[in-house]
């Protein structure tokens, strides 16, 4: 069934008029300067998406998005570690605006919770941490990276095929997502499930992903490894909650780490 969905999506993608020169984008690999770490970016075509309006119950907004690039997978630990633990070359650390950007405080214990590190999605991160990573990455690479808006995220997740509603066929969900029924209540290495028609992995499940909401407040999208099947779909959204730092002993709470939010990570987009 998933193959049929992908075939349908491919046909739908070819239907619009040819992209203009400004809209033409190609996939590329970005290497983080001063490190051996790289990640892949996937082009997402321009389009429109109808997204639930968080400011008015039952209302929907139709929003134009794209074109843009989105990271092929969730940001992994090895990429975030370069930022968090200053693993880049000291000479590179001092270059440009990256040197002036604050790095995360010491985490509470093992930030990966023992789930796994190399190839696993970075998690337990605040919206501030994810945003600062994007700012640091932009300064390091010269490209403008940021968190996706929730309209961009939902558009890329649906990829012209999925509705913003629970996926009725669990066999389809199993092929694309890590969630409560198949995750053993932990994260898994990125890119092990099937990608969506636009080549994006783990948009659903594994870790829920930070986005900037339509009301400009932080929100996580897509559901996670410990959510039930009906909570893992393109329309799944949860606003930022103080419960995710309930056991943080600090006052004020950490700007960087979520003591009670191990299910939250992120991916990046680039528009220009």
Secondary structure of residue 134 in the 3-state scheme: helix
Residue 9 has pLDDT above 70, yes or no: no
Domain 2-6+42-270 fold is 3.90.1580
| 3-state SS assignment for residue 207 | coil
- Residue 195's CB: how many other CB atoms inside 10 A? 17
pTM of this structure: 0.89
Contact 248, 242 (CB under 8 A): no
| pLDDT tens-digit series, residues 142-174 | 999 999 999 999 999 999 999 999 999 999 999
SS3 10: helix
Q: Do the beta carbons of residue 240 and residue 54 sit within 8 Å?
A: no
Model pLDDT, residue 132: 97
Tens-digit pLDDT profile for residues 109-142: 888 999 999 999 999 999 999 999 999 999 999 9
pLDDT of amino acid 110: 87
Strands of 237-239's sheet in order across: 237-239, 218-221, 208-212, 264-265
- The predicted-structure confidence for 211-231, as pLDDT tens digits, reads as follows 999 999 999 999 999 999 999
Annotate 27-60 with three-state secondary structure.
CEEEECCCCCCEEEEEEECCEEEEEECCCCCCCE
Least reliable range by pLDDT among 21-30, 38-47, 200-209, 235-244: 21-30
- 50/234 Cα distance (integer angstroms): 11
Cβ atoms of 103 and 231 within 8 Å: the answer is no
Cβ burial of 194 (10 Å; 0-12, 13-18, 19+) is middle
Crossing angle of helices 77-84 and 127-141, in 10° steps, is: 80
**Angle CA 118–158–115, to nearest 5:** 20
């Amino acid at each position: 069934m998933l193959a049929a969905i992908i075939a349908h999506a491919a046909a739908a993608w070819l239907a619009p008029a040819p992209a203009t020169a400004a809209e033409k984008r190609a996939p590329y690999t970005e290497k983080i300067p001063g490190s051996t770490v790289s990640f892949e970016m996937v082009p997402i075509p321009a389009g429109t998406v109808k997204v639930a309006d968080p400011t008015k119950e039952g209302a929907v907004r139709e929003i134009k998005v794209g074109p843009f690039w989105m990271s092929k997978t969730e940001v992994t630990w090895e990429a975030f570690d370069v930022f968090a633990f200053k693993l880049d070359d000291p000479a590179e650390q001092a270059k440009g605006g990256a040197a002036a950007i604050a790095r995360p405080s010491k985490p509470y214990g093992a930030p990966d919770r023992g789930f796994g590190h190399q190839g696993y999605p970075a998690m337990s991160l605040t919206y501030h941490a994810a945003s600062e990573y994007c700012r640091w990455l932009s300064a390091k690479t010269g490209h403008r990276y940021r968190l996706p808006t929730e309209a961009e995220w939902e558009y890329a997740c649906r990829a012209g095929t999925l509705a913003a509603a629970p996926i009725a066929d669990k066999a389809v969900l199993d092929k694309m997502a890590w969630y409560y029924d198949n995750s053993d209540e932990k994260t898994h290495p990125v890119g092990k499930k099937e990608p969506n028609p636009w080549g994006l992995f783990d948009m659903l499940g594994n870790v829920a992903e930070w986005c900037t909401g339509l009301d400009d407040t932080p929100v996580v999208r897509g559901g996670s490894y410990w959510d039930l099947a009906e909570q893992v779909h393109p329309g799944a959204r949860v606003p930022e909650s103080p419960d995710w730092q309930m056991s943080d002993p600090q006052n004020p709470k950490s700007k960087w780490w979520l003591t009670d939010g191990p299910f939250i990570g992120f991916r990046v987009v680039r528009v220009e």
